Amino acid sequence: MKKILPTSNAIIAIISGLLVLLGYFFPGVFGNIQSVLIGWAIILAAFALLLGIFNLAMVHWKKAGTDGPSSIYSIVLLISLIITIIAVSISGPTGSLSLWIFNTFQVPVEISLLAVLAVVLVFAAARLLTRRPKWYTVLFLITVLVVLLGSVPLFFLGEVAPLVALRGWLTQVPAVAGARGLLLGVALGTVATGLRILMGVDRPYGG
C-alpha cells in the first residue's frame, strides 16, 4: 500500500495537470473538464486554508505554554483569533462588527508596517555601499536618487524639468527593458518548473 499510494498520487496529479493544460489550448474539447478540475482545486484550497489556520493556532498554542518572553504574543494571537472567529460568525464577513475589527486593528497595523518598511529600505540603501562596494551599486543608488528627486517637487525649486525628463526616460526605457528581461527569465523558469511537475519528476505532493 505504501508503494502504491505515491504512484497513484503521481498518476492522478499528472493526468489532472495535463487535462488542465490542454484546456487552455483546446477550450472546446477540454474546457469543461478543466473548469471542473479548477473548481475542485478551489474547494480544496479553501479547506487547506482552514487547516492552515488550525496549524497557526497549534503553533501558537505550543508557544503560549512555554516560559519564553514571546509567549504573551502567542496568547494575544489566540485570544484575537477566537474573538475574530466569533465576531465574524455573528455579523458575517461584511457585517459592521467584522468591518470594525478590520478597520480598527488590521488596517492601522498594516499601514504602520508599511511605514517601517520605508525606513528599512532607506537604511538598506545606506548600507548597500558597505555590503557591495561595486560600481553598479553606485549606479543603482544614483538612479534611485534621480528617480526620487524627479518624482517630487523640490524645496524652493519646484519641479526641475531636466530631472523629471531623466526620471521619465529611466523608468520608461532602461527600467522597462530590464524588467522585461527579468520577466522572460521568470517565465521560462516557470514553464520549466511546470513541465517537471507534469513529467512527475518533481512531486511536491508526497508522491
Partner 1 sequence: MEQVLSVINNYLSLLFVLLCLGLILFYFLSDHNRPKISLRDIQAFRHIRREVDLAVEAGKRLHISLGRGNINGLQGGAAFIGLTILDRCARASSNSDRPPMTTSGDGVLNILSQDTLQSTYHSLGTEQRYDPLNARLTGLNPMAYAAGSMPTIHDEHVSANFFAGHLGTEIALLTEAGERSRSLTVAGTDSIHAQAVLYATSDEPLLGEELYAAGAYLGAGPAHLASLRMQDILRWVLVVAIILGAIIKLSGILP
Is 31 a binder of partner 1 (CB under 8 A)? no
- Which of 15, 82, 86, 109 binds partner 1 (CB under 8 A)? It is 109
Distance CA 11, CA 102 (A): 43
- Regarding 72 and contact with partner 1 (CB under 8 A), the answer is no
DSSP state of 160: -
* Of 157 and 201, CB closest to partner 1: 201
116 contact partners, CB below 8 Å, separation of at least 6: none
Dist. CA 79–CA 61, nearest whole Å: 11
Under the criterion CB under 8 A, does residue 148 sit at the interface with partner 1?
Answer: no
DSSP 152: S
Q: Which of 45, 83, 145, 148 binds partner 1 (CB under 8 A)?
A: 45
> Considering only residues 1, 25, 67, 133, which one is a binding residue for partner 1 as defined by CB under 8 A?
25
Q: How many C-alpha atoms does 88 have within 13 Å on its Cβ side?
A: 11
Per CB under 8 A, which region of 41-49, 91-99, 145-153, 155-163 contacts partner 1? 41-49
Q: Give yes or no for residue 36 binding partner 1 (CB under 8 A).
A: no
Which of 12, 15, 53, 145 lies at the binding interface for partner 1 (CB under 8 A)? Answer: 53
Query: How is residue 61 written as a grid cell?
Result: 498554542
- Amino acid at residue number 5: L
The answer to whether the beta carbons of residues 154 and 160 sit under 8 Å apart is: yes
154: β partners: 158
CB-based contact 9:205 (threshold 8 Å):
yes
**According to CB under 8 A, which residues from 151 to 180 bind partner 1?**
179
Interface residues with partner 1 (CB under 8 A) are: 6, 21, 24-27, 38, 41-42, 44-53, 55-56, 58-59, 62, 68, 70, 73, 109-110, 113-114, 116-117, 120-121, 123-125, 128, 131, 140, 179, 181-186, 188-197, 199, 201-207
